[in-house]
Amino acid sequence: MTLLVGFAGTPEFAQRALEAIAGAGFTIPLVLTRPDKPKGRGLALTASPVKICAVARGLPVVQPATLKTPEGRGEALACPLDVLVVAAYGLILPPAVLAWPRLGCLNIHASLLPRWRGAAPIQRAIEAGDACTGVTIMQMDEGLDTGPTIAREEVPLGLRDTGGLLHERLAEAGAALIVDVLRRLDRDGRLAALPQPAEGATYAARITDRDARIDWTRDAQAIDRQVRALDPTPGAYTTLGGSVVKVWQAEPTSTSSAAAPGTVLAARPAGIDVACGAGTLRILELQRAGGRRVPASALVAGRLVAAGARFVAPAA
């Protein structure tokens, strides 16, 4: 392998790709990742999964707070590269960085572009009820996930997939695909790329607190997709008796009701049935503030919820 492959990424999705590239034998002279962040109750500075992987493999790590200024990017750009692989890095690459590697920058994106450009393609695909998604390797330009595509692999969505389960499959697919692309680049010295079509483009906006609030006036199918999309993070939530409750697992049922949305229709060991704007959602697993994730049956057995109670959408 003659390519000098830089890497820029931060979370676990990116760490899987870095492991694969290093495992395939490519020379990695530099790894970029976000600065360590305070985490946990003690707010101890914690390294990103990419940094942990890089340090374990003895790879040089640079953690600029910004790439917008010459000072911020200077240390990185001093290292010659043939190509820079980018995966969920978390910083926008300015033109000076895009022009840095001899053969440009390649991005691993967790969707079939141009669908779901942006920060949260995994969650948005589940929320929308997509039957299929995938990963795309893209030649980066100055737009937001708008560059020409080099390779893509479809990944089907299971009917009960969560954000976590889909993340695992897409991370695995992305890691394998980028290694294949880099091998082709190493062999041929170039990569064929196709411009993205203008039609079919959608934007996967970053997940906010508003996205996590359960609106019981929506239909049960939509709330179910919301719950699955936001598991394991940040979790969809509602309130019961004024206290926040996260809903981790639920399923639509065939029951219909004229009760006000959010009303508990039945509270049994099998689950807590809640009226929605259309249909009924059965809550199977939830978490009270300060508590652990538990089966709904635990709240039923403790008489913490009963028929007639009402879940309420959190205030904006």
Nearest to 129 by CA among 209, 203, 226: 226
Q: Let me know if 198 is exposed, middle or buried by CB neighbors in 10 A (0-12, 13-18, 19+).
A: exposed
CA 139, 81, 14, 95 torsion-angle sign: negative
Cis ω before 232 (30° cut-off from 0): yes
pLDDT tens track for 267-311 = 999 999 999 999 999 999 999 988 999 999 998 988 889 999 999
CB 13 within 8 A of CB 87: yes
Distance between CA atoms of residues 98 and 9, nearest Å? 15
Beta partners for 239? 244, 312
Please name the helix (run of DSSP H) or strand (run of DSSP E) that holds residue 149, with its range, or none.
strand 149-156
Task: Give 255's pLDDT tier (boundaries 50, 70, 90).
Answer: confident
| Delimiting residues of CATH 3.40.50.170 domain(s) in the chain | 5-204
pLDDT (0 to 100) of residue 152: 97
Grade residue 90 by pLDDT with cuts at 50, 70 and 90.
very high
Neighbours of 156 (CB within 10 A): 12
Taking residues 61-81, report their average pLDDT: 97
Q: What is the CATH number assigned to the segment(s) 5-204?
A: 3.40.50.170
Pairing assessment for the beta strands 294-295 and 264-268 based on DSSP bridges: unpaired
User: According to the model, what pLDDT value does residue 3 have?
Assistant: 95
pLDDT score for 126: 98
Q: What's the pLDDT score for residue 314?
A: 85
- Looking at residues 196-217, what average pLDDT do you find? 96
Question: Confidence band (pLDDT; 50, 70, 90) for 47?
Answer: very high
Q: Is the distance from CB of 31 to CB of 19 less than 8 angstroms?
A: no
- Domain(s) labelled CATH 3.10.25.10 in the chain stretch across 209-312
Return d(Cα 4, Cα 127) in angstroms, integer.
Answer: 39
Mean pLDDT along residues 246-265? 95
Beta bridge partners of 274: 264, 281
Q: Is the pLDDT of residue 184 over 90?
A: yes
Model pLDDT, residue 256: 85
Q: Output the six-digit token pair for 226.
A: 């919301």
Q: Which CATH architecture is the domain 209-312 placed in?
A: Roll (3.10)
